[in-house]
Chain A
Amino acid sequence: MTFIHIGKDFVPPDVEGKVTGDAKYVEDFKPEGLVYARLLTSPLPSGRVTSIDASEALRMDGVLGVITADDLPPSSAPDDPVLASDDVTYIGQPIVAIAAISDAIAENAIDRIKIEFERRSFVTDPLESLVQFGPNAYPDGNVLRQSNSLEDENATIRGGIAEIKWPATEIEKFRNGQEPIGVDFADGWTYGDLDTAFSESTVIVEESFVTAGTPHHCMEPRSSMAYWQNGKCYFYASTQSQSAVVEPLADLLGIAPENVCMISENTGGGFGSKGRVYPTMAITGKFSQLLNRPVQLRITREEEYYLGVGRPGMQGWVKTGVRADGSVAAVDVIIISDGGPTGRNSASSSAQHLSVVYTPSAMRLRNIPVFTNTAPRGAQRGPGQNEMSAAIAPIMDKAARQLGMDRAQFRRVNAPHSESPVYENQGPITSAFMTEAIDKASEMFNWAEREAAPRQKNGRKVRGLGIGLGYHSAGGNGYDGLVRITPDGRIHLHSGVGNLGTYSYAGTARAAAEVLKCRWESCEIPRGSTDSHLPHASTQGGSNTIFTHTRSNWVAAENAVVKLKEIAAIEFGGDAEDYSIENERVFKTKNSNQGFSYGEAAAKAIELGGRFSGEEYPDDIHSITQRAVQGIAGSGLVGVAKDNLPKRGIAPGLMISMAEVEIDLDTGKYEVIDYIGIADCGTIIHPQGLAQQINGGAVWGFGMAGSERHVYDPQNALPANIGFYQAKLPTILDVPSNMESGAVDIADPYNPAGGRGVGEPSQGSAVAAVTSAIADALGHSFNRVPVTPDMIVNFANNDEQGSTPLAINTF
């Protein structure tokens, strides 16, 4: 199919504001009368608040009020409460919010609040809690028994607190890479006949692995600001979605959703951490309601590392069986997740990653989310899939080597295709073309020749090649699209998609322009504020926007085209089928003189009213979309529809990366000196945006591979990494000067525009390529990320590792 917009670069309307400084983020809005809130946070990792005395603070000049948990709807463990009281579960947890006429006064007033606690035992390492007689993060237990599925990564965890303990002998075995026997698990799943599959295997590799928890490091902290006007709350937040935030926030504030106006024009990074309401938003909304003044709650960089959610670390054991032809027969995996205080974990999605990219015939997952008194955990770019990708790549390399098979060929033998069954239910996918992606990457990287050649050495510097695969479920359905043509001929492509900087809010709107066969210059994109009448949209996350919202834009534009033709038929006679569109005109196919412009048709739509101009709308659209349509009714021709297009199973976003690293054995530092990422993401919708996601994801991968991690002092549960330079994201000097990217560009049949997303797999494949390359260079796999310089130096010198073997949060 030949497109006029899809697959072509364009200038997204918001990019100029970003280079001029005109783009506004939460802290840039300073309404008249703004006052400031600050947080008193817990100095203890675990306990209960027994008393709070804020009287001295309240007597200070300029202090306006305080809020405690008593002023908010109750919450129960293991939820992450807005303000803690009965269950204080980590250092830095908000307990009291205070508002004052200046930020400095609010900050100083915190010191005047007297607070008393009852202390409780605490734990930072999941295995320390899992061992018999080990401490529990909650008085009632140490693990989450989850009762709902986490298909939606941003969904609230449902489940209760339970206790599981393993004998010390089994913990020790688990730490040392052996399967623990006779122990309990909280959850898991299985498919296929595991015993038979292992019996078919020529090579069996059994290894343990650890991946660290990591902070999100969004450049814009999760600050928020709110004010009330005429009974309506105007809320400014850094969020990945307007739609997903409005209803829960309205619940928190005890008002109807139509009385929340969510403004989020630009979001300075989300990466999963801003997919839903973040708890501190309730403080801003509540304070502004109580004080009847605009209130800003600024979250500092340091606070981000305490109360911001992070990726859960995990510790595991995996046994992989591979047949003589290289096909993966069986994978048996145990995952102990660090669930922080909420139990949020990604064990199932980690295992699902294996089921998709290595397509084993049989699989088993057994897992436990263990509570720890560390930062709350949440979804982070490719949750589960990407850390598993990092851990498994060198292990699969080992299996390929034992078989004597080229590592790329090994991936190719197991690559998913359009008919591959995936996940625990062995369900279908929309399409996959990973064989083509592996071939393309191999050719561009010259893999076969480089892999066969001896590794370069330069004194104490050694080089290694790596290959990694990335996957994430990358496409939803069932959301709504909304387009409007006004009598001036302007075409308004309403977008409820958040703006994280992927430009997919605009890239997906181009699907509507494609259907309307209109010039891009004739289009504008109302977005960023629910007052701009935005349809129900997915969170901009989960790599799903490209697939999900090209579909919803497509169906809304098709609805508009049908109405254009019906209006023309009313005006010029005949049936709608007799009409065509071109050059922003609707006209009789057999006589193009009989027709009118889109603008004239829009004027006629207003005259006709009813469904033509949005006074009536389909029954199946979401209430958010209904309100949006009501807001624009009568102002033009309105195309609105729910995406009821067919979809078969999961829409996979897939990536392959290849990398070369050079490791200095004296310093332990390594550089990624060559890198390529190739996506299998259907039709390329926006080439520049795709390159941004592939390369940006790779930078994330380099960070996960080498430097980023949460670290806690086990004696006091104090986080040690509370700054950019400690936790530590890559700088421009940590990435290659040139990075290559590409895509197979084969359409997904379940999207009329052909695209699937890929923002998350790009990290997973990159981190895997680097861990694979490090293991290749050293002839040794740490089975752990990040691989830090001290680990490399110790290995090179045959010294004992200074770090605790295979522990998540401590070293």
Chain B
Amino acid sequence: MNPKLSRRRFIKGVIYSSAAASAGAGYYLATAQVNSNAVVERLLSLNINGQTRLVDVAPTETLAFTLRNKLGLTGLKVACNRGECGACTVLLDNISNYSCSLLTHTIKQRAITTVEGLRSVDGRLSAVQQAFIEELAPQCGFCTPGQVMAATALLRANSNPSREEARQALAGNLCRCGAYDHYLNGVMRAAELLS
């Protein structure tokens, strides 16, 4: 895994950066600062789940908002909207990211993968999805799409992780039901399925 992009470093960054934004409850984060007279390119071309999607994006819009509200990709969840929980995790070029803490305008041509993009073309579930079912990893399921994406990012970078490496990889994804042990079992089973 690229040490410069470790989960821990990333989380630290988003927590600091979210401190100011979190004071307001707004979904748009910085809506109040929008200058309506500014000329900003609005129509973006995004690479999502292997497809090009054209979408009208406000300058301060988060990727989580764009994906959920503009493109109907509601698999990712917004549980905190300030980089604490990981329920909104998506992949950018195969690296897990909190979509609530990214502005869509910063994404450019990077490949975005959401939980909806993990099935194979013939509809089969991914190894992580299959393994999570077999281990009955989810409970309430609200954090599950984020857990799936974090596990997918790990296995794409390291298809044979140790249990400790898997634990570290899921450390940015909270689960209030406390299903951690079961998600961990799921990651290890997915690695077996892939081998």
Contacts and interface: CB of A to CB of B under 8 A. Distances in A.
Given A219-B85, A300-B81, A730-B178, A18 B141 contact: yes
A696 B139 contact: yes
A300 B178 contact: no
Contacts of B87: 219
Interface stretch (B40-48, B91-99, B111-119, B153-161): B111-119
Interface of A: 9, 11-12, 14-25, 27-28, 30, 38, 103-104, 107-108, 217-221, 266-269, 271, 298, 300-303, 500-503, 688-689, 691-692, 695-700, 723-725, 729-733, 735, 737-739
Contacts of A20: 75, 115-116, 118-119, 125, 129
B191 interface: no
Interface residues of B, number: 65
B42 to A, nearest CB: 16
B133 A220 contact: no
B133 A735 contact: no
Given A268-B141, A501-B138, A25 B115 contact: no
Contacts of B163: 737
B77 to A, nearest CB: 7
Contacts of B174: 219, 724, 729, 731
A12 B136 CA distance: 9
Contacts of B173: 732
14 contacts: A12-B136, A17-B141, A18-B145, A20-B115, A107-B26, A219-B85, A219-B142, A219-B143, A221-B79, A268-B79, A269-B142, A300-B25, A699-B180, A723-B80
B167 interface: yes
B25 A107 contact: yes
A136 B128 CA distance: 55
A692 B141 contact: no
Given A689-B136, A692-B139, A724-B80, A729 B26 contact: no
Q: Which of B118, B129, B174, B178 has the most CB of A within 10 A?
A: B178
Contact of B75 (A22, A500, A695): A22
Given A16-B125, A269-B140, 11 more contacts: A16-B133, A18-B144, A21-B73, A28-B74, A103-B26, A219-B175, A269-B176, A301-B79, A724-B84, A724-B174, A725-B84
B15 A15 contact: no
Contacts of B31: 104, 107-108
B77 A739 contact: no
A383 to B, nearest CB: 17
B140 A739 contact: no
A692 B136 contact: yes
A12 B135 CA distance: 12
Given A20-B119, A219-B79, A733-B167, A9 B133 contact: no
Q: Which of B31, B79, B136, B176 has the most CB of A within 10 A?
A: B176
B80 A301 contact: yes
A500 B140 contact: yes
Contact of A737 (B22, B75, B167): B167
A704 B88 CA distance: 26
Interface in B167-188: 167-168, 170-171, 173-184
Contacts of A725: 15, 84
Contact of B22 (A24, A268, A302): A302
A9 B182 CA distance: 15
Contact of B28 (A104, A303, A692, A729): A104
B82 A723 contact: yes
B122 interface: no
Contacts of B10: none
B115 A217 contact: no
Nearest to A730: B178
B171 A733 contact: yes
B78 interface: yes
Given A219-B79, A696-B179, A735-B180, A21 B116 contact: yes
A735 B184 CA distance: 12
A731 to B, nearest CB: 6
Contacts of A729: 174, 176
A108 B32 CA distance: 8
A688 B138 CA distance: 11
Given A219-B85, A696-B177, A737 B184 contact: yes
Contact of A19 (B28, B74, B132): B132
A500 B177 CA distance: 9
Contact of B74 (A11, A21, A267, A737): A21
A302 B25 contact: yes
B124 to A, nearest CB: 11
Interface string B37-73: 0000000000000000000000000000000110011
B77 A219 contact: yes
A697 B179 CA distance: 9
Contacts of B76: 21
B179 A298 contact: no
A21 B145 contact: yes
A502 B139 CA distance: 6
A692 B142 contact: no
Contacts of B144: 18-19, 23
A15 B125 CA distance: 12
Contacts of A300: 25, 81
A98 B46 CA distance: 34
List 3 A-B pairs, minimum CB-CB distance, nearest first: A21-B75, A699-B178, A268-B142
A220 to B, nearest CB: 5
B101 to A, nearest CB: 13
Contact of B141 (A38, A217, A501): A501
A28 B73 CA distance: 9
B181 A298 contact: no
Contacts of B183: 732
Contacts of A723: 22, 80, 82, 84
B85 to A, nearest CB: 6
Nearest to A741: B181
Nearest to B27: A103
B35 to A, nearest CB: 15
Contacts of B103: none
Contacts of B27: 103-104, 107, 298
Nearest to B128: A19
A104 B26 contact: yes
A691 B135 CA distance: 11
Nearest to B130: A19
